[in-house]
Structure formats: C-alpha cells, structure tokens
Structure 1
Amino acid sequence: MDRLKIATFNINGIRARRTNLLEWLQREQPDVVCLQELKAQDADFPIDDIRAAGYGAIWHGQKSWNGVAILSRGDDPLEIRRGLPGDPDDSHSRYLEAAAHGVIVASLYLPNGNPQPGPKFDYKLAWFERLIEHAEGLLASGHPVVLAGDYNVVPTDEDIYNPRSWTRDALLQPESRECYQRLLAQGWTDALRARYPDERIYTFWDYFRQHWQKNSGLRIDHLLLSKGLAPRLKEAGVDRWVRDQEHASDHAPTWIELDMGSIQRGG
C-alpha cells in the first residue's frame, strides 16, 4: 500500500449515526479510522455492520457518553493500549492505541472542560498532561505514530470563525492552548495546518444559530504526525459533505494521506 488514508471522526453517537458512518466508509474508503464519542457500551458497538463494510475494529465504549474506536480496512487493528496511563482511577473511555497498516494510531477524545473554571476544566488539563507525557514516549520510540482525535482545543484564533463569541469556553483558554503547543513542541506535526498553513479550515460546527449553514466553525479535530511521518504527508482534508447529511454529527471526518513507500522503523 503506497498511499495510506487515516481519518478521525467524532461520530457523536454511533447508534444514532450508524447509517451516516457506513455511507461515509463506503464512499471515502479510508484505510484507518479513529472514532470518538461513541456514546455506547461495548455490547452495542455495531461490529457486524463494520465488518460487512470491510473493516476490522477494536473499541472501548461507555454508557451514554465518551467511547473511542479504531477501524482498519481489510484486517483487525492490533491493540496496544486501552486507556491513557497516569491515573488508575480514571474511568472515562477516552483513549485507544493500536497498530494498523504499519503505523501506530491513537484515537483520543480529550475532555471538553466546560464549564470553566471548575473540576471539569481541571480534569481536562490533568488529562492533557498525561497525554503529553505518554506522547513523549511514543515519539522517542522511533515508530511511525499518528495521534488522531477530538482534542477539544482551538489552537489559534485562525481556527475559529469568531473567537469573541467563545472567550469563556474551555476550548480557547490559554491553558488549553498552551498544552497543545507543548505537545507540538515535542516534535509532532499538526497535519491539517501543515498542509494548509494559511487557510481557515473547520472540522466542527455546532447545532446552534445556523452555524453550519453560515460556515461558523471551529478546528478541534487534529491528526498529529511523528517526525518521520511528517515528510510523508501528501494530502489532508475535511469531508464536509458528511456534516450536511440528515441527522449529522456536529463534526465532519478529518483525514490525511501518507506516502508510505517502504516505511521502516524510525518513521
């Protein structure tokens, strides 16, 4: 496989949007998919439908909220880690890591953190610190790694239609943005921004005030590439048509294409 397409998609309820997911898989055929916010227990994950679409999968569900999954076209992902290390008492299903098609892929759903200040924002920042520590080890391993998911962080004011409307939101707080920049500073590449350095590109449009119709969006879904993978980035984008579907998620799938060639350890 010379080209590898990896996508991240906050499905916002896999049972409610199973049809949307399957249509997207059939039309776009990504090789690896990271899903977030399944809002379903493990037993309710539609694995039979996923397999019928040509994908193997691993998933880590949770009743009513959270939940992450990794899909791999043509085979089963090899699970590496279920849950982010650093807090044995953390019961949220927010992190899943696997090997698929020659790369290590993490599907992550970073806490929203609202309302802030308060315990939810404290949890967001603590979770972010755990991610930063774990990501450093992944980068040091020398393996090709993609950290994909809903980060619930708007990196800069260029990644939102109007920052003045969100000044109190946890997604734009200086602490949230500082954590994201510290993660990048380890050596990760924000793939979508690297591919489109000067364009406003959004991945999320909430359900209020016709934000989708007005393109009043935010960029909070990110795919970060390890050092060796960054030069292999050939294309990136957002499948906006999915957000325009009936009963759509408020996120759209965000994807990258990598030129794998003869990738070896050190990627």
Structure 2
Amino acid sequence: MPLTFASWNINSIRVRAHLVKDWLDRHQDCQLLGVQEIKCEAAQFPKLFEEEGLHTAVVGQKSYNGVAFISRSPLTITTDHLPGFDDPAARYIECELNGVVIGNLYLPNGNSGGDAGFQTKLAFFDALYKRAQSLRAAGKPFALMGDYNLCPTDQDFAPGALSPNDALVRPESRAAFRRLLWSGLTDAVKIDHPTTHPYTFWDYQAGAFQRNAGLRIDHALLSPALADRFLKSTIDRDERGRERPSDHVPLMVTMRDS
C-alpha cells in the first residue's frame, strides 16, 4: 500500500492537540505525522493520541522548540538528535517506517542571537547534509521533512513579506539548502508544482492569511530511491482558516509501495 507521511509545525501541541487529532481523523491515509515546535517537555505531550491507539515519540523542551512523531504503527526511533549538531535545543527526531527513514526537523530561524544565532542555523544545515550523506551511503531510502525556516527562492514568499537581510532568505541559507538538493535530494512539492510556489506559513499579524502574504518554509526532501516512488504532495491550506490555528499548515507526501 502507499506510504503517506506529513509534516506540521503546530506552534504548541498542548494548545492545538484537538486540531491535530481532528486532522488525523480526516486523513486516515496518513500513517505518520511529524510535528515541530511542540513547545513542551515529553512528559507534557498530550495523552489523547495514545488514548486513541496512536503511537508517539517525543523530543521535547520546556516552552520552546520540540519535535515529535504521531504514528498509526509502532515506531522504530533511529536517533533522537541530529548527529554532529552540538546544540541542546530539541530540533530533530528520526524514525524508520516500512523500510523508509524519516527525519523530522525544526531548523533554527537564524534571526535571533546575532551572528552566533545565524551560525547555529548554518551548523544545523551542515549536520543535516552530513546525515543525508550517511543515510545515502547506508543505502536507506529517506526523507528529511519539517520546518526549514528557509525560502529557497524569491518566489517562495509574498512580495514585501521578508526583508533582504532576513535569515530565511540570506544567500548563505539558500546555498546550504541548495547543497542538499545538489547532493541528490528532491524537493517533493516542486515535483507537483514546478512553476508555482504554494505557501505553508502565514504570519498572525496584519491579516497575512487573508492577503495571502505567506512563505514556503516547510519542506520534504526525498532521497533518490524515494523520489522514484513519489505519487503526490499536498499542502493543506484550509487548516490555516481554522479557529486558533497554527501559523503553519500540514505538508503531506504520498509514495507508492516499493
């Protein structure tokens, strides 16, 4: 059967657990959801998912960051951190499901903390590149999905939504993302949308969603073996119109069975 997985920066899982559960109820084909910016420690992660028979794996942090998986099947966690990234922030978790390794990441924004903060962003990109190389060398089909805090091109954000010096569009950030692509990874959304740039994030301020002043910063990058199995990608824009939504929406990817 096809394998469907999804990524969603939920911007506080305790505030929006009901939205996640409702989304999963309506998307029974999604076997695995990776959420980012859960903003809680593992012990505070809502129990309602396991009460519904789902499986969870959490790398949490008090009030900030945090990533987790919610799965319909038992999970095999391959790592609870990004190898080579020397930072205590909870930003990466990785699992294996049906023979596919899936990394769930929350990449540093890079706009806070001055030059050191931006260098942390680049350090994460570097470690992610090395992780991709390691997985390729091991012969594993894999996907690296999540909130990259990166607009790959000027078409990936609404005019005027970002300044030229924003870390989401700085040349160094984009070069780090291109390095991943040039290593053989495929941007899943661009398979379906080669000339259009659907957004995945709209700020809460100034009616950004109503004006469609958005950004495309959530991505799923596929290894060559997985890209060959690609069927479709879906950005669930309607979720941004819900009551008290996250500022991001789910990105879903479906692959054919191997």
TM-score by length of 2: 0.96
Cα pair 1:5 1:255 within 8 Å, conserved: yes
Equivalent residue number for residue 83 of structure 2:
85
Cα pair 1:94 1:108 within 8 Å, conserved: yes
Selected match of 1:195 from 192, 213, 237: 192
SS of 1:172 mapped into structure 2: coil
Task: Tell me if 1:63 matches 2:62.
Answer: yes
Cα pair 1:115 1:169 within 8 Å, conserved: no
Mapped to 1, the partners of 2:227 and 2:85 lie a distance apart of 30
Give the Å deviation of 1:163.
5.4
What's the C-alpha RMSD, in Å, of the aligned pairs?
Answer: 1.4
Selected match of 1:125 from 115, 122, 126: 122
SS of 2:23 mapped into structure 1: helix
How many residues align? The count is 257
Give the Å deviation of 1:51.
2.1
Alignment of 1:105-184 (within 5 A): 105-115=102-112, 117-162=114-159, 165-184=162-181
| Equivalent residue letter for 2:196 | E
Mapped to 1, the partners of 2:66 and 2:55 lie a distance apart of 17
Equivalent residue number for residue 11 of structure 2:
12
Equivalent residue number for residue 203 of structure 2:
206
Mapped to 1, the partners of 2:18 and 2:175 lie a distance apart of 37
After the TM superposition, which of the residue ranges 130-139 and 61-70 deviates more from structure 2? 130-139
SS of 2:39 mapped into structure 1: coil
1:18-56 per-residue CA deviation (whole Å, 9 max, x = no partner) reads: 11111111112311111100100111011x311234421
Give the Å deviation of 1:145.
0.5
Cα pair 1:25 1:53 within 8 Å, conserved: no
| Equivalent residue letter for 1:20 | L
Equivalent residue number for residue 43 of structure 2:
43
Give the Å deviation of 1:70.
1.4
Mapped to 1, the partners of 2:98 and 2:69 lie a distance apart of 12
Give the Å deviation of 1:71.
1.9
Give the Å deviation of 1:168.
2.0
Mapped to 2, the partners of 1:247 and 1:153 lie a distance apart of 24
Distance 1:164 1:16, change over 3 A: closer
Mapped to 2, the partners of 1:220 and 1:165 lie a distance apart of 12
SS of 2:25 mapped into structure 1: helix
| Equivalent residue letter for 1:52 | E
Mapped to 1, the partners of 2:208 and 2:243 lie a distance apart of 15
Equivalent residue number for residue 34 of structure 1:
34
1:80-137 per-residue CA deviation (whole Å, 9 max, x = no partner) reads: 101111245x211001011123311110000000147522111111111111111111
Equivalent residue number for residue 251 of structure 1:
248
Q: Which runs of 5+ in 2 are unaligned?
A: none
Q: Which runs of 5+ in 1 are unaligned?
A: none
SS of 1:183 mapped into structure 2: helix
| Equivalent residue letter for 1:42 | A
Cα pair 1:26 1:53 within 8 Å, conserved: no
Give % identity: 42
| Equivalent residue letter for 1:83 | H
